[in-house]
Each structure stands twice: as C-alpha cells, then as structure tokens.
C-alpha cells in the first residue's frame, strides 16, 4: 500500500520524505488554510519539489467549466499534480473531460462504493472514500474500502482506491489488510505508526545497559593499567 501524507505542511512532508516512506501528498482547502503566508500554487510547487509522487490539488469551483479551468491550471504547475475533484454530477463531468485531456484526477468526498464506481467509470485515477467521517456518523468506513477494492479488482478498473480521512493507526492497518492501493494520513498518525511503548522502552533500556557495560569495561581497563604501573 502506498502512503500519502494528508497535509499542506512543508516540514511534515520533508520529514516523511527523509524517512523514505512518502509516496505522495494530498491537500485540500482546509489543509491549505492551516498554512500561512504562501499562495496555494506556491505550496503545491514546493511540495512537488519534495516528492515526485502524486500531489493532489483540490478545485473549489462547483461548476464544470470552473473545475476545468482550475484543474488545467493546477496540472501546469508540475507533472505530478493530480486534480482533486469532489463527487457530484458536475464533478463526474469534469473528471471525464480532464481524463480526456490526459489530466489525472482524484475523486474526493466518496462515501459509498457506488460513488466510487461512477468516479472510476468517468476516468478518475484515484478514488477517495472518507473512512473517518463515516465512522463519525456510526457507519463503518472500512466497509466502503472493502467493497470498492473488490469492485475495482473484479472489474479490472483502471483506478486506485485511496483510503482518506484517516484518524488513527488502526485505520492504516485495516486499509492495508483490505487491499487499499493507497492511504493518505495526517503526519500525527504516521508518527504514531512509528512508535510503540515497548519499542521506545527497549531503546532506552539498551542505551542504559550499554552505558553501564561501557563504564564497567572502562573501570576494569583503568584498574589493569594501575596494576601494571
């Protein structure tokens, strides 16, 4: 499973890239709103300079022509830009027309397998079910991942299922076990995936034991040197 970071924070993206685990980035207007001082275009160009993986840039227009204009603009910023388009009647038309122009799209705000099926038929490269927001309303978000992965594989559709709205590390494990092609995660959850109390405790114990053994060896060596003098 590919791992994308769901953020517009440049420092978080740099850290994940240094760890060697970053396959791409997804952004949206809410994530961009948390950054300051730069335009969305500037942020996108900077992200595309860090990763050569897909970088999703979300349109805000709700009409087809507006989505096409924004999508074509984003696609010119860098070769790895993927235009994020919301699931809607207009969104489907925009996805279809952008695909015809060779522009990749990520259909966002998917909450049912049927929506994902339609986005795949229209030509979206990435299908983004929001698992966390479904969990929030007492539905199992992972059901959509399971159904959509099954549909994509059974019908050999040319789209990848991207588990989005990830809230905790268990979501990442479940998405991977269900065969999601991609999961996009906040940096905080990526950090949580690295750590385990027993791992962190083990590192501390090894360091302390090493220090004790080193001090014992040093004092033995000093005692031996003193005996020779």
- Given 34, 84, 104, 204, which residue is catalytic? 84
Size of site (CB under 6 A) for ligand G3P: 9
* Catalytic residue list contains 34: no
Which neighbouring-strand residues pair with 208?
none
Helices (H), the chain: 10-19, 29-33, 40-50, 64-77, 89-100, 113-122, 131-136, 141-154, 169-177, 187-194, 197-228
User: How many CB atoms neighbour CB 41 within 10 A?
Assistant: 13
132 binds ligand G3P, rule: CB under 6 A: yes
Residues 193-212 that bind ligand G3P (CB under 6 A): none
> What mask of x and - would describe binding to ligand G3P in positions 11 to 50, judged by CB under 6 A?
---------------x-x----------------------
| Smallest separation (angstroms) from ligand G3P to the CB of 86 | 11
Which neighbouring-strand residues pair with 182?
2, 162
Q: Exactly one of 8, 164, 175, 189 binds ligand G3P (CB under 6 A); which one? A: 164
6 binds ligand G3P, rule: CB under 6 A: yes
* Of 170 and 201, CB closest to ligand G3P: 170
- 78, 48 Cβ separation under 8 angstroms: yes
d(CA 204, CA 90): 55
Which of the residues are catalytic?
Answer: 84
Instruction: Name the residues that contact ligand G3P, by CB under 6 A.
Output: 6, 26, 28, 130, 132-133, 164-165, 184
């Amino acid at each position: 499973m590919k791992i994308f970071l769901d953020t517009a924070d440049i420092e978080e993206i740099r850290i994940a890239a240094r760890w060697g685990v970053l396959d791409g980035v997804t952004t949206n207007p809410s994530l961009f709103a948390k950054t300051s001082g730069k335009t969305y275009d500037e942020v996108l160009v900077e992200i595309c300079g860090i990763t050569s993986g897909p970088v999703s840039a979300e349109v805000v227009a709700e009409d087809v022509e507006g989505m096409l204009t924004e999508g074509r603009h984003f696609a010119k910023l860098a070769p790895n830009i993927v235009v994020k388009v919301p699931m809607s009647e207009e969104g489907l038309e925009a996805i279809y027309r952008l695909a015809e122009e060779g522009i990749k799209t990520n259909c966002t705000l998917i909450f049912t397998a049927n929506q994902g099926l339609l986005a795949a038929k229209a030509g979206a490269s990435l299908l983004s079910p929001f698992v966390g927001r479904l969990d929030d309303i007492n539905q199992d978000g992972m059901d959509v991942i399971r159904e959509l992965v099954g549909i994509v594989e059974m019908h050999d559709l040319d789209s990848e299922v991207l588990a989005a709205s990830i809230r905790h590390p268990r979501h990442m494990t479940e998405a991977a076990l269900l065969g999601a092609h991609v999961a996009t995660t906040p940096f905080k959850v990526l950090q949580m995936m690295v750590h385990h109390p027993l791992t962190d405790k083990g590192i501390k114990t090894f360091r302390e034991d090493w220090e004790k053994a080193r001090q014992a060896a040093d004092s033995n060596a000093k005692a031996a040197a003193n005996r020779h003098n």
